[in-house]
Amino acid sequence: MTSSPRKLDTADASAPVTPMMAQYLEIKAGHPGALLFYRMGDFYELFFEDAEIASKTLGIVLTKRGKHQGEDIAMCGVPVVRADEYLQRLIAHGHRVAVCEQMEDPAEAKKRGSKSVVKRGVVRLVTPGTITEETLLEPTRTNLLLALARLRISDDEARFGLAFADISTGEFGLSECDEAGLPAEIARLDPSEIVMAEAVHEDAELASLWRESRAAVTPVGRDVFDGSQAERRLAAFYDVGTIDGFGSFSRAELVAASGLVTYILRTQVGQKPALDPPRRDGASAHMAIDAATRANLELTRTLGGERAGSLFDAVDRSVTAAGGRLLAQWLASPLLAPEAIALRQDAVAFFAEQALLRGQVRARLKSAPDIARSMARLALDRAGPRDLAALREGLTGIAAIEALLRQRESELPPVLAGILSALARPDQGQAARLAAALQDDLPLLKRDGGFVRAGYDAGLDETRALRDESRRVIAGLQARYAEESQVRQLKIKHNNMIGYFVEVPQQAGEAFLQPGLRETYVHRQTMAGAMRFSTAELSTLESRIASAAERSLASELQIFSDLAAALIADGAAIRAATEALALLDVIVALAVLAEEENYVRPVVDTSLAFAIEGGRHPVVERALKREGKPFVANDCELSGEGEGQKAAGKIWLLTGPNMAGKSTFLRQNALIAVLAQIGSFVPAKSAHIGAVDALFSRVGAADDLARGRSTFMVEMVETAAILNQAGPRALVILDEIGRGTATFDGLSIAWAAIENLSAVNRCRALFATHYHELTQLTKKLPRLANATMRVTEWHGDVVFLHEVVPGAADRSYGIQVAKLAGMPAAVVERARAVLAQLEATDRQAPAARLVDDLPLFAAAPRAPAQPAIKARDEVAEALDALDPNDMTPRQALDALFSLKAKRDSAKKG
């Protein structure tokens, strides 16, 4: 999806190129993998294949300009003032953009000669993982850049170092895993861009990872991940003599971190973002959730990629962008340690009980801007006056919230005490200085000026007075010239080409060319319907005005620089307070959630417990509440027992018809575990959960045609991953295993999978199925229990009660569901007749015999031939005797009643 340098090779150019085009080709050759935004006045222009790509992606007009190597030069452009809008669309399509700016005033270039070209240079490489502009970023989504380093341990084994940073906030973390754990780590981090060495990118065994990832993938040269330079590059980035003070990291992590900062410096063309020191964020501290499970459970986005309908959307009550980002990270990485979970729960419980304080803090949080991203733009010299205003408001809010918490300091639980300490760190004078310096109404760009408040700087006030007085002089001069010349339409105007000038209608302008006026008015331009002149007096005044305006803007830019430098110097304290503010927002938001939705505090410990009373699905419940409908709560008891090799959890085998709520029940228990282990209260009457170390889900049907995988193949791959990885502390939810193939094949696979879950994985599990034969396994597997979705029939229609009760379903009610779906009546009736014949063969008998005769994990015996059916059902024989073509309507009705009577008699017998 990046541009190609093929058409830009000038080595074999058959004709000379213009100086400007030569400059463009030279700059483009240095950035062959990016679209080049080449600044020309008020536009960024793109040429050749870059223009073709941008024109197609952005939907803008493609034009031609001149020739190169005998071919027309394709060209398109975007206005500089709307560049962010177009960048956003290009980045969303996976492109990288090199921004090439004019490095001098065009007037300076003209001094070198008429054919001299304005100096230009690439000031930044914009990629999905390195954007900082507010308009390009999602407020509640962390924009991670992930660097991936591979270290070979042997021919068959490798370790992967992962370094990830959000340069828009300063977050920087490290982790390490093996190849098997790499997909889950990438899914957990959900980066916007992944950087890796070309050799890793071209590894066929890893290719599926890059195809499946939502991230842009950027292969780079091996020098970026040069292990011999890793520690030196990191020390140089942080301007320290040694990185020992940052902690102890593995070799793979150090190489990845070095590759990350190297790539960042190259894309930012020497500008250094303010990154926190790297911190280890190992997978061992979090619940393992693979990519398929994340997608099935829709933790932070739905299968369609939308936030609406996800768990995050259902539980998010945060009021700041940073709080939203942090909550999404928590949901992606639930904790494992009960002690850490309890600390978060204590903080949530405190605010759940303190309604007044909660409301006061929340009101302050609502006005807090995105301080972290404004600080990042300051460090990269991309900030504007509104970023300073954001920091002014943010620092004021931090001080106010600190004062609120300080009043209850002795009552605060440990997490909130830590937040209070961090909120006190920034220099309290910063907000006052910013308030004194900044106007109330601020421009977007600092180069526009006018953002410093009058009275803040005496020198600036003096310069502004001169500038503004000169403007009044211009107005007076215009009035005098109009009176002297008797031309009321006379105007004094300004443009960048000729500066200030006098403009009059063309008819009046002829008089200015005659003796008497031409000595004062020097002709400059003749326009359509107007003529332009200059005067010596106007030229002198222009010089004074230009000097005052330039000095005024220079003074404002210096004030901006001084304010920014003071904030950057206090950057570590401000970032710590910003992180504390985000943490406080999430805690308060979870307390609000608990109160609004009647959530309870769960018990999370190191046992194998999984006892949920009155559990509810947070997403479905919210949707039903909008429709004014209640959610039917259900219990779940999967608690295990034993320790070490003897530890094992329970398995529930869940049967019942489609639409009865099996999938909802499965998912809600998994989501309750996730919420419990982020420190949240949960939707239940009570909950006791032994910390789940890995969560696995196989729910729903999907194919992967691009990789040649059918729906059933995808199902089997995901099931295999679960059976190969789940341990005693895992929670597994499986839905309809084996339904994508022939009946007996599918039944056999499901049967064997349950046996494996019980005897090998020994995990807590929910297994939903339509294979009623599997319910017989409870006779062999003591930790397997049958549960079913309760339904009832009313006037021939099935009514779903959405209740989970002990026992097994004896029917699937598929035909009733088909009827509810609007299946044609003739099809429904035909299905009933076929089902009646199939049920007459007593197809459950073979399964019952297998339970008695087939030991666990025994070699499968050859299935015996089924004995011939010796007698036919009375009803079937009666049907065969009927000829509908020879029957009157009355005879047909009598025959129907007769058949029904025989069937009822057979049932009673």
Binding-site sequence positions for ATP: 656-663
Residue 90 backbone phi and psi in degrees, to 5? -70, -45
Which residues are CB-contacts of 636 (< 8 A; sequence separation ≥ 6)? 610, 611, 612, 615, 652, 665, 669, 766, 804
- Where are the strands (E) in 795-888, listed by range? 797-806
- Among 129, 95, 122, 126, residue whose Cα is nearest residue 29: 122
User: Which residues fall in the annotated binding site?
Assistant: 656-663
Give CA–CA dist 301/316, Å, rounded: 13
Which amino acid would we find at residue 110? K
CB 335 within 8 A of CB 287: yes
Where helices occur in 190-298 by DSSP H, the ranges are 198-201, 207-212, 230-237, 251-267, 291-297
| Cβ neighbour number for residue 4 with a 10 Å cutoff | 12
Cβ neighbors of 632 (< 8 A, separation 6 or more) are 661, 801, 802, 803
Question: Under DSSP, is residue 523 helix (H, G, I), strand (E, B) or coil?
Answer: strand
Q: Which residues of 828-841 are buried (b: 16+ CB within 10 A; e: fewer)?
A: eeeeeeeeeeeeee
**Residue 227 Ramachandran class (φ > 0 left, ψ -120 to 50 alpha, else beta):** alpha
- Give the whole-angstrom CA distance, residue 127 versus residue 250: 28
Residues 6+ apart with CB under 8 A from 758: 648, 651, 781, 783, 784
**How many other CB atoms are found less than 10 A from the CB of residue 462?**
14
Using CA atoms, how far apart are residues 824 and 818, in angstroms rounded to an integer?
9
What single DSSP character describes residue 283? G
Among residues 275, 250, 247, the alpha carbon closest in space to that of 262 is found at 275
> Rounded to 5 degrees, what angle do the CA atoms 839, 840, 846 make?
75
Q: How many CA atoms lie within 13 A of 315 on its CB side?
A: 34
C-alpha to C-alpha distance for 828 and 846, rounded to whole angstroms:
28
Strand order in the sheet with 71-79: 63-68, 71-79, 43-47, 35-40, 97-102, 120-126
What are the beta bridge partners of residue 67? 72
Residue 339: other Cβ atoms inside 10 A: 10
Q: Which two tokens stand for residue 385?
A: 């006056």
End-to-end, the C-alpha distance of the chain in Å comes to: 73
Structural contact between residues 728 and 608, judged by C-beta atoms closer than 8 angstroms: yes
How does DSSP classify residue 863? P
CA distances from 598 to 48, 350, 628 (A): 61, 16, 16
User: Residue 508 is inside which H or E element, if any?
Assistant: helix 506-512
Contact yes or no for 570/426 (Cβ under 8 A): yes
Q: CA quadruple 735, 739, 743, 749: dihedral positive or negative?
A: negative
Please, what is the angle between helix 618-626 and helix 662-677, to 10°? 110
Q: Is 348 in contact with 302 (CB distance < 8 Å)?
A: no
CA distances 853 to 14, 536, 847, Å, are: 85, 113, 10
If we measure between CA atoms, which residue out of 53, 74, 73, 54 comes closest to residue 13?
73
Token output for 804:
């989970």
Closest CA to 334 of 582, 679, 604, 592: 679
